[in-house]
Amino acid sequence: MKRGTHQPLVLHEDRFFDPDANIRRAARAIYDDTRDLPLICPHGHVEPSLLAENAAFPEPTALLIVPDHYIFRMLYSRGVSMESLGVPTRDGTPVESDPRKIWQRFADHYYLFRGTPSGAWLDHELHELFEIRIKLDSDSAQAIYDRIAEHLASPAFRPRALYDRFNIEVLATTDKASDRLEHHRAIRDSDWRGRVVPTFRPDAVFRIALPTWRGELDALAAAHGHSIDSFAGFVAALEERRRYFKSLGGTATDHAVVEPYTARLAPADAEAIFRRAVAGDATARDQRSFEAHMLIEMARMSVEDGLVMQLHPGAYRDHNRAVYERFGPDKGADIPVATEYTRNLSALLNAYGNEERFRMVLFTLDESTYARELAPLAGHYPALRLGPPWWFHDSMQGMRRFRERVTETAGIYNTAGFNDDTRAFCSIPARHDLARRMDANFLGGLVARHVIDLDDARAMGRALAYELARETYRFDTLAPATPARERVATGAR
């Protein structure tokens, strides 16, 4: 391409659909039924302060690049330093602060995202949200930056206005057990009718062998309003905090572990491990046993309070120690490991897997478990639902492989629909659109092979796009909210 010329950015109406005409025709009909359904966002990492404060986004890089590890991990893998992309350091040492230079560097390397889900999401954001009609590259970078900045200065691009425009019905955040949830309270106390709910994530207070644990325990005690001097007091504090999260609309908990190991401790052993932790003497073995016991405790509490339990195992967190030490956690260096579910979850599922009030959503990064373990487990235990592929597998082919390997044994109604799991607020519609297209294409293949008819496929498409997530996470038990598009029409905020 000659300098000064720009290639058009075109989103084909049949993108991600099969080239086979019969499959494509059915996929298009199924997708047409789902494309405008509201978005259910049951698990993610958007900061609630974004919607509580409703401040204008400062500029394009702060919105699209700096907070998104999907983007800077790819650039880092090709030798682009995080400092040059403006990613803040732990110790506050200077990083690139000129947003135009960061944007130019990103555009210079945008070709790296060709064929990836990040590339598909970004093109969707540029085209559909910011009305960009030329491809992002070195030559077009600054013109596109100016266009996005112009949009961001408009009231129509404030976070709450975008929430409504995206047609989000409910958005769940992820919050520490000790979080005071002041941003959630502020949203509830405002005159805006958007539904933003917290998710209870107590991981930090289960990792008793880490040097940070005592500080986490003290924060939990402060939020609880009472000292925590025993294991029984610890459990009571967690129960109280769960009630508080639920009072602000929370419907779920979330737990990240390397292995989904569960085993019950005798009361005396749990107390002894807790006291060693308080004394600063807990070992890695103690922590493994404690976490295994606490997962069963979390299941027991879910039976009692109805919160849906999510389990995210199989990630070796912060694999790159140099990046972790300089930039902190969640910087794109969480790497999948092989994960075993059948034996590890036996204690928990034998205790609560048949309970009517218990619901547990299992996620994975290990695709080899789909057909071997996850589908048979979900196809048997009433409590289990399978969450969609996440991180490295929430891609075009990852979604297809998941449906192919799970559906025959578990069907679709033992799955939890789609889950965008993102920090990048503006990518939410793009992620849902990609998932709806891929699910429509999968179902279109079943129609073309006469496994199901088109009417059934349409019903299944609506379930995967909207109904299953809403029902799995018990959002249908919440008080009715004003639909996003009705809020837009009436001007309600």
**What is the chain's length?**
493
Instruction: Return the pLDDT at 486.
Output: 55
Instruction: Return the pLDDT at 3.
Output: 46
Q: Does pLDDT of 481 surpass 60?
A: no
Q: What CATH number matches the domain at 21-57+167-490, 3.20.20.140, 3.40.50.2300, 3.30.43.10, 1.10.340.30?
A: 3.20.20.140
Q: What is the average per-residue pLDDT within 136-140?
A: 97
Strand-pairing partners, residue 256, are: 312
Q: What is the average per-residue pLDDT within 335-356?
A: 97
109-133 per-position pLDDT tens digit: 999 999 999 999 999 999 999 999 9
404-453 per-position pLDDT tens digit: 999 999 999 999 999 999 989 999 999 999 999 999 999 999 999 999 99
Instruction: Return the pLDDT at 491.
Output: 44
In the chain, the percentage of residues whose pLDDT exceeds 70 is 96
pLDDT band for position 2 (cuts 50, 70, 90): very low
H, E, C per residue of the chain: CCCCCCCECCCCCCCCCCCCHHHHHHHHHHHHHHCCCCEEECCCCCCHHHHHHCCCCCCHHHHHCCCCHHHHHHHHHCCCCCHHHCCCCCCCCCCCCCHHHHHHHHHHCHHHHCCCHHHHHHHHHHHHHCCCCECCCCCCHHHHHHHHHHHHCCHHHCHHHHHHHCCEEEEECCEECCCCCHHHHHHHHCCCCCCEECCEECHHHHCCCCCCHHHHHHHHHHHHCCCCCCHHHHHHHHHHHHHHHHHCCCCEEEEEECCCCCCCCCHHHHHHHHHHHHCCCCCHHHHHHHHHHHHHHHHHHHHHHCCEEEEEECEECCCCHHHHHHHCCCCCCCEECCCCCCCCCHHHHHHHCCCCCCCEEECCCCCCHHHHHHHHHHCCCCCEEECCCCHHHCCHHHHHHHHHHHHHHHCCCCECCCCCCCCCHHHHHHHHHHHHHHHHHHHHHHHHCCCCCHHHHHHHHHHHHHHHHHHHCCHHHCCCCCCHHHHHHHCCC
361-404 per-position pLDDT tens digit: 999 999 999 999 999 999 999 999 999 987 777 888 999 999 99
pTM of the predicted model as reported, rounded to 2 decimal places: 0.94
Mean pLDDT computed over every residue of the chain: 94
Give me the CATH code for the 58-157 domain, please. Answer: 1.10.2020.10
Could you tell me if 446 and 57 are in contact, meaning their C-beta atoms sit under 8 angstroms apart? no
Q: For CA atoms 269, 274, 278, 284, give the dihedral sign.
A: positive
Ordered by start, the domain boundaries in the chain are: 21-57+167-490, 58-157
51-95 per-position pLDDT tens digit: 999 999 999 999 999 888 889 899 999 999 999 999 999 999 999
For 82, 96, 358, the CA distances from 87, given in Å and listed in that order, are 5, 8, 40
